[in-house]
Amino acid sequence: MQLPSAVTITEVGPRDGLQNEERFVETARKVELIDRLAAAGLRRIEAASFVSPKAIPQMRDAADLMAALPRHEGVTYIALVPNETGARNAIGAKADELATVVSASESHNRRNVNRPIEESLAEIEKVAALAAEAGLPWAGYISTAFGCPYEGEVSAQQVALLAKRLRELGAYAIALGDTIGVANPRQVQALVAALRQALPDTPLRMHFHDTRGTAVANVLAALEAGVDSFDGSVGGLGGCPYAPGAAGNVATEDVVYLLREMGIETGVDPEALIDAARWAEKLVKRTLPGRVKNAGLFAPTKVR
């Protein structure tokens, strides 16, 4: 088993995390959170989503946020865009990279973006054209890749077919989302194998939720399958407004702890990241589920 020597982490807390909060977080506070994450060494940060404010009120300040963000050398600010309008707005706001999303199940796709899968792919094609014109890379997310809250099991074949479509449209990478946190390590390895067979030269990224406490185990399974790119959310912020029962994303600091202890490089300062996680708790005024920030950086050397 050859594990990656280094892993890239994409921090999604400012977007995927905060979008699920009931209370609107002021733009200046979001900027401070993102700045703290960048200072901790995170070089890929999903900063905002350019969606209808009626659908996701927390993201109504996306353009103002992007304008206010301090630009750090080597830091990529990513914007999630659901359609052509969102892409135009994100490009106008100087996003460095775009992300699109389509669900692996029809039911979730209709709940999430109010259209069938084929219409989403047609819209993504327009996004791809705008991204190419602007010279921006974009990644294609497949939500509910491991299971749907409405339809249950999702086939690996369906996920692979969607990944091929996204790749053909120009996605430089495919991200597989365990939107409701139902994945298990064996399933993770099987799905990664299916994607490797279908798209052997396409970078994969994994996006795990920790609904059932299996996210870190799934990270390890993906590492063993050769995946070297993961999403994380500071403190475990997040969920999904259109996936009942979905808990937060895997906590970035928990993933960094696992990788650090395994000798895998991330470029992230764990102490600064834990400070950011604790600050995020004050920001949303509640205890977040990330474990490492409460247990300390290292496990005890002896267990009695």
Please state, in angstroms and as integers, the Cα–Cα distance from residue 265 to each residue in 6, 172, 179, 280, 292, following that order. Answer: 4, 23, 26, 24, 18
Query: What tokens were used for 103?
Result: 């669900």
Catalytic hit among 240, 246, 258, 277? 240
Place of tokens 């969102």: 86
The phi, psi pair for 73, rounded to 5°, reads -60, 130
DSSP states along the chain: ----SB-EEEE-IIIIIGGG-SSPPPHHHHHHHHHHHHHTT--EEEEEE---TTT-GGGTTHHHHHHHSPP-TTPEEEEE-SSHHHHHHHHHTT-SEEEEEEESSHHHHHHHHSS-HHHHHHHHHHHHHHHHHHT--EEEEEETSS-BTTTB---HHHHHHHHHHHHHHT-SEEEEEETTS---HHHHHHHHHHHHHH-TTS-EEEEEB-TTS-HHHHHHHHHHTT--EEEEBGGG----TTSTT--PBPBHHHHHHHHHHTT-B----HHHHHHHHHHHHHHHTS----SHHHH-SS--S---
**240 in catalytic set:** yes
Query: What tokens were used for 18?
Result: 């905060």
Catalytic residues: 240
